[in-house]
Amino acid sequence: MTEGLKSAVLTVSDTRDRETDTSGQYLCDSLVEAGHDVVERDIVIDDRYLMRARLSAWIADPGIEVVLLTGGTGFTGRDTTPDAVEPLLDTLIPGFGELFRQLSHAEIGSSTVQSRAIAGVANNTFVFCLPGSSGACRTAWEGILREQLDESFRPCNFAELIRKGVH
Protein backbone atom coordinates (compact mmCIF):
# COMPACT_ATOMS: atom_id res chain seq x y z
CA MET A 1 0.00 0.00 0.00
CA THR A 2 1.18 3.54 -0.71
CA GLU A 3 0.41 6.56 1.44
CA GLY A 4 -2.42 5.91 3.89
CA LEU A 5 -5.80 7.55 3.62
CA LYS A 6 -6.90 10.20 6.09
CA SER A 7 -9.86 8.74 7.91
CA ALA A 8 -12.42 9.44 10.61
CA VAL A 9 -14.50 7.06 12.72
CA LEU A 10 -17.90 7.98 14.11
CA THR A 11 -19.71 5.72 16.57
CA VAL A 12 -23.46 6.21 16.81
CA SER A 13 -24.71 5.05 20.20
CA ASP A 14 -26.82 6.13 23.15
CA THR A 15 -24.85 3.92 25.54
CA ARG A 16 -21.19 3.75 24.50
CA ASP A 17 -18.29 5.94 25.51
CA ARG A 18 -14.59 5.75 24.57
CA GLU A 19 -13.96 2.94 27.06
CA THR A 20 -16.88 0.76 25.95
CA ASP A 21 -16.77 1.54 22.23
CA THR A 22 -15.21 -1.71 21.05
CA SER A 23 -16.48 -1.33 17.47
CA GLY A 24 -15.07 2.17 16.99
CA GLN A 25 -11.80 1.08 18.57
CA TYR A 26 -11.61 -1.97 16.30
CA LEU A 27 -12.08 0.23 13.23
CA CYS A 28 -9.44 2.73 14.39
CA ASP A 29 -6.97 -0.05 15.16
CA SER A 30 -7.63 -1.73 11.81
CA LEU A 31 -7.17 1.49 9.87
CA VAL A 32 -3.88 2.28 11.62
CA GLU A 33 -2.64 -1.29 11.22
CA ALA A 34 -3.32 -1.01 7.47
CA GLY A 35 -1.26 2.20 7.28
CA HIS A 36 -4.07 4.77 7.30
CA ASP A 37 -4.22 7.87 9.48
CA VAL A 38 -7.16 8.25 11.87
CA VAL A 39 -7.40 12.02 12.09
CA GLU A 40 -10.78 12.22 13.86
CA ARG A 41 -12.85 10.00 16.11
CA ASP A 42 -16.12 10.82 17.83
CA ILE A 43 -19.20 9.32 19.42
CA VAL A 44 -22.68 10.82 18.96
CA ILE A 45 -26.03 9.66 20.24
CA ASP A 46 -28.61 8.20 17.84
CA ASP A 47 -29.84 11.56 16.64
CA ARG A 48 -29.97 12.16 12.89
CA TYR A 49 -29.20 15.87 13.20
CA LEU A 50 -26.15 15.41 15.43
CA MET A 51 -24.91 12.71 13.04
CA ARG A 52 -25.46 14.92 10.02
CA ALA A 53 -23.70 17.85 11.67
CA ARG A 54 -20.60 15.81 12.53
CA LEU A 55 -20.55 13.97 9.21
CA SER A 56 -21.14 17.16 7.21
CA ALA A 57 -18.13 18.80 8.87
CA TRP A 58 -15.97 15.80 7.99
CA ILE A 59 -17.27 15.67 4.41
CA ALA A 60 -16.41 19.36 4.01
CA ASP A 61 -12.92 18.87 5.48
CA PRO A 62 -10.37 18.29 2.69
CA GLY A 63 -8.19 16.53 5.27
CA ILE A 64 -10.63 13.61 5.60
CA GLU A 65 -10.95 11.11 2.76
CA VAL A 66 -12.82 8.22 4.40
CA VAL A 67 -15.44 8.12 7.15
CA LEU A 68 -16.46 4.89 8.86
CA LEU A 69 -19.65 5.05 10.93
CA THR A 70 -20.62 2.22 13.25
CA GLY A 71 -24.04 1.80 14.82
CA GLY A 72 -27.63 2.71 14.13
CA THR A 73 -28.14 0.61 10.99
CA GLY A 74 -30.94 -1.61 12.32
CA PHE A 75 -34.72 -1.15 12.32
CA THR A 76 -35.55 0.17 15.78
CA GLY A 77 -36.90 3.66 16.22
CA ARG A 78 -33.48 4.93 17.32
CA ASP A 79 -31.62 3.37 14.36
CA THR A 80 -31.43 6.35 12.02
CA THR A 81 -27.89 6.22 10.63
CA PRO A 82 -28.78 5.31 7.00
CA ASP A 83 -31.66 7.80 7.02
CA ALA A 84 -29.38 10.54 8.35
CA VAL A 85 -26.47 9.80 6.03
CA GLU A 86 -28.09 9.03 2.68
CA PRO A 87 -29.30 12.61 1.98
CA LEU A 88 -25.70 13.84 2.40
CA LEU A 89 -24.30 11.46 -0.22
CA ASP A 90 -23.71 12.54 -3.81
CA THR A 91 -23.47 8.95 -5.03
CA LEU A 92 -24.54 5.68 -3.42
CA ILE A 93 -22.42 2.53 -3.60
CA PRO A 94 -25.21 -0.08 -3.60
CA GLY A 95 -22.82 -3.02 -3.97
CA PHE A 96 -21.31 -2.30 -0.55
CA GLY A 97 -24.48 -3.09 1.40
CA GLU A 98 -25.25 -6.04 -0.84
CA LEU A 99 -21.79 -7.56 -0.40
CA PHE A 100 -21.78 -6.85 3.33
CA ARG A 101 -25.06 -8.72 3.77
CA GLN A 102 -23.80 -11.62 1.65
CA LEU A 103 -20.66 -11.94 3.79
CA SER A 104 -22.66 -11.48 6.97
CA HIS A 105 -25.14 -14.19 5.96
CA ALA A 106 -22.36 -16.77 6.18
CA GLU A 107 -21.85 -15.73 9.81
CA ILE A 108 -25.31 -14.89 11.18
CA GLY A 109 -27.73 -16.36 8.66
CA SER A 110 -30.94 -14.60 7.79
CA SER A 111 -30.46 -12.09 10.64
CA THR A 112 -28.34 -10.15 8.18
CA VAL A 113 -31.50 -8.75 6.54
CA GLN A 114 -31.86 -6.54 9.62
CA SER A 115 -28.75 -4.58 8.63
CA ARG A 116 -29.15 -1.44 6.58
CA ALA A 117 -25.41 -1.03 5.96
CA ILE A 118 -24.85 1.53 3.20
CA ALA A 119 -21.99 3.42 1.57
CA GLY A 120 -21.50 6.33 -0.75
CA VAL A 121 -19.43 9.29 -1.77
CA ALA A 122 -19.89 12.95 -0.82
CA ASN A 123 -17.45 15.68 -1.85
CA ASN A 124 -14.86 13.00 -2.68
CA THR A 125 -15.19 11.59 0.84
CA PHE A 126 -16.08 7.91 0.96
CA VAL A 127 -18.62 7.15 3.70
CA PHE A 128 -19.35 3.65 5.02
CA CYS A 129 -22.17 2.93 7.51
CA LEU A 130 -21.65 -0.30 9.43
CA PRO A 131 -23.65 -2.03 12.13
CA GLY A 132 -22.63 -1.40 15.72
CA SER A 133 -21.40 -4.87 16.65
CA SER A 134 -17.68 -5.56 16.65
CA GLY A 135 -18.34 -8.75 14.67
CA ALA A 136 -20.11 -6.82 11.92
CA CYS A 137 -17.31 -4.24 11.80
CA ARG A 138 -14.78 -7.07 11.50
CA THR A 139 -16.82 -8.64 8.68
CA ALA A 140 -16.94 -5.35 6.78
CA TRP A 141 -13.26 -4.59 7.37
CA GLU A 142 -11.88 -8.03 6.54
CA GLY A 143 -14.29 -8.80 3.72
CA ILE A 144 -14.45 -5.43 1.94
CA LEU A 145 -12.77 -2.36 3.39
CA ARG A 146 -9.22 -3.59 3.99
CA GLU A 147 -8.81 -4.42 0.30
CA GLN A 148 -10.85 -1.55 -1.11
CA LEU A 149 -8.92 1.06 0.88
CA ASP A 150 -5.59 -0.38 -0.32
CA GLU A 151 -4.28 1.18 -3.54
CA SER A 152 -2.36 -1.99 -4.40
CA PHE A 153 -5.49 -4.17 -4.48
CA ARG A 154 -6.41 -5.21 -8.03
CA PRO A 155 -8.24 -5.03 -10.31
CA CYS A 156 -9.70 -1.89 -8.70
CA ASN A 157 -10.18 -0.22 -5.35
CA PHE A 158 -11.75 2.81 -3.69
CA ALA A 159 -8.35 4.24 -2.69
CA GLU A 160 -7.48 4.89 -6.35
CA LEU A 161 -10.77 6.69 -6.85
CA ILE A 162 -10.20 8.83 -3.76
CA ARG A 163 -6.75 9.82 -5.04
CA LYS A 164 -8.18 10.64 -8.48
CA GLY A 165 -10.95 12.77 -6.96
CA VAL A 166 -14.06 11.05 -8.31
CA HIS A 167 -16.34 13.84 -7.06
Query: pLDDT per residue over 69-122, tens digit each?
Result: 999 898 888 889 999 999 999 999 999 999 999 999 999 999 999 999 999 999
- Split at pLDDT 50, 70, 90, the class of 164 is confident
**In sequence order, what are the residues at sequence separation of 6 or more whose Cβ sits closer than 8 angstroms to the Cβ of residue 96?**
117, 118, 119, 128, 144
Please report the pLDDT score of residue 76 as a whole number.
82
CA atoms within 13 A on the CB side of 160: 9
Q: Which of 82, 119, 116 is nearest to 101 (CA)?
A: 116
Domain membership flag for residue 1 = no
Mean pLDDT, residues 33-46 taken together? 97
| Structural Rg of the chain based on CA atoms | 14
Domain membership flag for residue 71 = yes
Q: Cα separations (Å) of 11 from 1, 71, 90, 149, 160?
A: 26, 6, 22, 20, 26
Domain membership flag for residue 87 = yes
Whether the pLDDT of residue 167 is over 70: the answer is no
Taking the C-alpha atoms of residue 5 and residue 162, their distance in angstroms, rounded to an integer, is 9
- pLDDT above 70 covers a percentage of the chain that reads 98
Instruction: Report how many domains make up the chain.
Output: 1
Indicate the average pLDDT of the chain: 94
Whether the pLDDT of residue 25 is over 70: the answer is yes
Residues making up the chain, counted from first to last: 167
Bigger pLDDT: 155 or 167? Answer: 155
User: Residue 18's domain spans which residues?
Assistant: 6-164
Domain harbouring 117, CATH code: 3.40.980.10
DSSP β-ladder status, 118-122 and 66-70: unpaired
Please report the pLDDT score of residue 163 as a whole number.
86
Please report the pLDDT score of residue 1 as a whole number.
45
- Split at pLDDT 50, 70, 90, the class of 2 is low
Domain membership flag for residue 150 = yes
Taking the C-alpha atoms of residue 120 and residue 90, their distance in angstroms, rounded to an integer, is 7
Mean pLDDT, residues 37-65 taken together? 97
Taking the C-alpha atoms of residue 105 and residue 112, their distance in angstroms, rounded to an integer, is 6
Domain membership flag for residue 117 = yes
